[in-house]
Amino acid sequence: MKFLVSNIFFFITTTIVIFVIVSGFYTGFIFYVAMIISWLGFLYCAYSYYKNSERLINPTTCFCLSVFVFLVSRPFLSLLMGDEVISIGLGITEENIIKATLFVMWSFYLINIFYCFFDKPAKFILNGMPDIKIKSYTWSNVFLLFSLFLSFLFLKNSYFNYNVLSNNENYFSFISSLDFSYFRYFFISKYFLILYIVLSKSNKSLLISTSILFLSSLGFMAIGLRGYTIAYLFLFLLAYDVKYKIKLIPLIVLSLSLIILSASVLSFRLGFDVFENDSYLSIILKTIAQQGATFEVVFGAVNFLDEINKCISYYDYFIQGIPFGDCVDVSRGVYFAEGGFASSFFAELVFFWPILILIIPLFSFCLKLLSLSYDQILSSGSEKKSSILLVFFLLPNLVYFARSSVFDFIEKTIISIFFILFISLVIKIIRKKDA
């Protein structure tokens, strides 16, 4: 109840500040007041989510991490470092920056508020899902061996491509010419791990599967694709935390090491040392701020919505498949020859504002469902397979939700539920035939 009341307070406060700014009463003082309120509200919510489970790595802390790293880190760190919040484009003013920041926090609080109301509906769905009670020591080990073999093939091909890329001066022009069909080895390996989880007798099936998946995903890091590796690292850390409970200091050391490694990957992709002569503290802060580039998409969506609507319609989005992020870039005067700032959950919330009040509750429900699945794993000692599979499927997506499509996490939750129901149905059919 305290968490709900606090979020309602922060939501109302943020709404009032937004109203004041939109009404034309913006001043420099409001900028700092709004940033402080946003910072305090975010820290309170993140700490509350941690205290709820007493685990550093859980779905709700990953939700907060995604919002922080990919969005609010940029405006917050700019106050500490004095760097530009928005690096390129039109309309770069303090007022427009704070509008985007407040919209992210407004949506963040609203997600938290709805999250508090979905405990019973999410439990109803989760308890209604059939538990998969089938175990086969032989077949589970066979699928595990298949997964290991495919992981080896994936890593071998990634190592070969790493050698090719490291000897080429232009990463971006050369990487498009490489054959990445071997990526299928990684994803087929993941399917075999799903079968291993379903059939395994071990109560460490989630930990074993996620460790293999993470080690295999290092092949993506080797060729400069950090996202997969980081997402599957957090899935592994969650599984490890379930069994052994990660301490704060080792997690901080790991996180800082990961940030420095991420900075090295960026230098590898660009072909020069981006952080030459910088201290480790400067490297860490700049790398986090660089990940916060997704904030620029939200900035564009909040402040250039009319121009975006001229570039893309709902028909273009759903039927034609026109990239939303490209339209945001063009609408705010950013013209990249290739690449761009991509999209963001919160930027697309602005675009879909007529149904925002439907999207946010759906997202909150999916987050609650994932959180309760995690709670079941903690309480049952990893016995309920449906909960294990939901966490296995959804957590990597949640880690990157802030820079994904507005429907991505919701779609994957629905697909995962139907996939689990399909597996359960297949098992029932097999058992009837054997009976």
Does the structure show a pLDDT above 80 at 131?
no
Provide the Cα torsion 294, 297, 299, 304; round to 10°. Answer: 180
CB 164 within 8 A of CB 178: yes
What residues does each domain of the chain span?
1-435
Model confidence band, residue 148 (pLDDT cutoffs 50, 70, 90): very high
Average pLDDT over residues 87-97: 87
59-63, 368-372, 382-386, 405-409: least confident range: 382-386
Of the two residues 406 and 264, the one the predictor is more confident about is: 406
pLDDT at 280: 65
3-class SS of residue 408 = helix
Does the structure show a pLDDT above 80 at 159?
yes
pLDDT at 413: 96
Q: Is the pTM for the entire model greater than 0.75?
A: yes
Token pair of 56 as six digits: 């550093």
Does the structure show a pLDDT above 60 at 382?
no
pLDDT at 162: 74
Q: What is the largest CA-CA distance in the chain?
A: 75
Contacts 24+ apart (CB under 8 A), 222-229: 222/155, 222/158, 222/159, 222/161, 222/162, 223/158, 223/161, 223/162, 223/165, 223/175, 224/165, 224/171, 224/175, 224/265, 224/268, 224/269, 226/262, 226/265, 227/400, 228/396
Does the structure show a pLDDT above 80 at 387?
yes
Average pLDDT over residues 10-34: 88
Does the structure show a pLDDT above 70 at 340?
no
Does the structure show a pLDDT above 60 at 269?
no
Q: What is the mean pLDDT of the chain?
A: 85
The rounded distance, in Å, linking the Cα atoms of 33 and 214 is 41
Tens of pLDDT, residues 209-222: 999 999 999 888 88
Share of the chain above pLDDT 90, in %: 46
Does the structure show a pLDDT above 70 at 274?
no
pLDDT at 255: 76
Average pLDDT over residues 42-61: 90
Scan for tokens 């079968």, then name that residue: 195
Of the two residues 228 and 178, the one the predictor is more confident about is: 228
Give the HSE-up count for residue 215: Cα atoms under 13 Å, Cβ half-sphere. 14
pLDDT at 253: 83
Scan for tokens 């298949």, then name that residue: 146
Model confidence band, residue 185 (pLDDT cutoffs 50, 70, 90): very high
CB count in 10 Å sphere of residue 372: 20
pLDDT at 75: 84
Of the two residues 173 and 128, the one the predictor is more confident about is: 128
pLDDT at 434: 62
Tens of pLDDT, residues 219-240: 888 887 778 888 999 999 999 9
Give me Rg for the CA atoms of the chain.
22
Model confidence band, residue 175 (pLDDT cutoffs 50, 70, 90): low
Of the two residues 409 and 343, the one the predictor is more confident about is: 409
3-class SS of residue 169 = coil
Tens of pLDDT, residues 248-263: 788 888 777 777 776 6
Using alpha carbons only, give the angle 24, 26, 29 rounded to the nearest 5 degrees. 165
